[in-house]
Amino acid sequence: MKRQVFRFFALAALLGSVALPAACASLDNEYDEITAERIARPAFMVERRLESGGMDFQLWERMHKRYAPANIYIEGDGQPTYLNRDVSEDPTPDNPVALHLASRDNADNLVYISRPCQFRESPDTKVCSDKLWSTRRFGPEVIAAYNQAIDEIKLRYDITEFNLIGYDGGANIAAVIATTREDVASLRTVAGDLNPAVVLPQTGQVLDADNLKAPDIAPALAKTPQHHFVGAGDEVTPPSVYHSFRQAMGDSECVHYSLVQDADHERGWVEKWPELLKAPIDCPPPYVPVELPPVPKHISKDGPNK
């Protein structure tokens, strides 16, 4: 009898150990969704899920004007790994910074796009391979899926051009996208991972060799109006990350950079964002020396000076 009781409790403990993580994951996903709603709905943003390129994306949109530009916000990496550096089952961010930023933007048209498979109740392994937030997060297929999603948004709302805003790893995606489209008017990055080859190895994360990285395509951005915001207290993507990207670009009149005080990788951005959006983002014309007319010769009563 005692042995049967022991087996019962052992089996219950085993089943509990299997069910508990799934239950916790479900609760976490529900909490993340509630958090996103509380951020987006007061800004009159409407939720929509979009499958693009065989991948699943969470969108929050506010569209008021057809045949006009739209601002697109791309989320950061979220939680690609656990503390022990194993790949996580759910990449949804606890603090969706890009969504916070979008909620403070007064543009007529704006769209928040998550990273693949974020904000899903139970990720479908058919469209949510964990490679999409680990070794393939910047793969060509991911960039193609974003471009397909942007094409769908453009067609649905008759958008004329896009201003891209990327946070964290979303900055790398936004930078790459900007080189692949003719309808990108500007690029902004916030605490941007503009050099994944430098940032990710520090946390034990490795990318496949064919992932697309901002420094590799930087020269193609030289004529794109852009502004990069870096937190003075950011230890994840410090100023050196931006500077390595800027150096890879070469000469450009279109690049602006701001070191933002009292901001780190996640904190200090939301309250400042409405003002930061007003920062310059243009391409001043290159300096052209002014040619002055020749000085006329002095003519005296005796004729021109010799």
What pLDDT, in 10s, does the model give residues 272-294? 999 999 999 999 876 777 777 77
DSSP one-letter code for 226: E
User: Considering the entire predicted model, what is its pTM?
Assistant: 0.85
Under the banding of pLDDT at 50, 70 and 90, the label for residue 23 is very low
DSSP one-letter code for 236: S
pLDDT of amino acid 50: 96
Check pLDDT > 90 for residue 11: no
Break the chain into its structural domains and give their ranges: 31-283
Q: Which residues pair with 255 in a beta bridge?
A: 226
pLDDT tens digit sequence for 205-233: 999 999 999 999 999 999 999 999 999 99
pLDDT of amino acid 10: 45
Q: Considering only 11-15, 58-62, 213-217, which range has the smallest mean pLDDT?
A: 11-15
Under the banding of pLDDT at 50, 70 and 90, the label for residue 124 is low
Q: Considering only 39-48, 58-67, 293-302, which range has the smallest mean pLDDT?
A: 293-302
Shortest CA distance to 260 belongs to which of 270, 251, 247, 269?
269
CA angle, 98 then 100 then 102, to 5° = 70
Under the banding of pLDDT at 50, 70 and 90, the label for residue 261 is very high
Average pLDDT, the chain: 89
170 burial level (CB within 10 Å; 0-12, 13-18, 19+): buried
Positive or negative, the CA dihedral 264, 34, 129, 170 is negative
Question: β-strands 109-113, 55-63: how paired?
Answer: antiparallel
CATH H superfamily, domain 31-283: Alpha/Beta hydrolase fold, catalytic domain (3.40.50.1820)
Q: Are 159 and 71 in contact (CB under 8 A)?
A: no
Q: Considering only 79-83, 113-117, 222-226, which range has the smallest mean pLDDT?
A: 79-83
Give the Cβ contact number of residue 59 at 10 Å: 20
pLDDT tens digit sequence for 61-72: 999 999 999 999
Check pLDDT > 60 for residue 12: no
pLDDT tens digit sequence for 183-197: 999 999 999 999 999
Radius of gyration of the chain (CA): 25
Under the banding of pLDDT at 50, 70 and 90, the label for residue 13 is very low
Q: Considering only 1-5, 83-87, 121-125, 126-130, which range has the smallest mean pLDDT?
A: 1-5
Mean pLDDT confidence for 250-263: 98
Mean pLDDT confidence for 168-174: 99
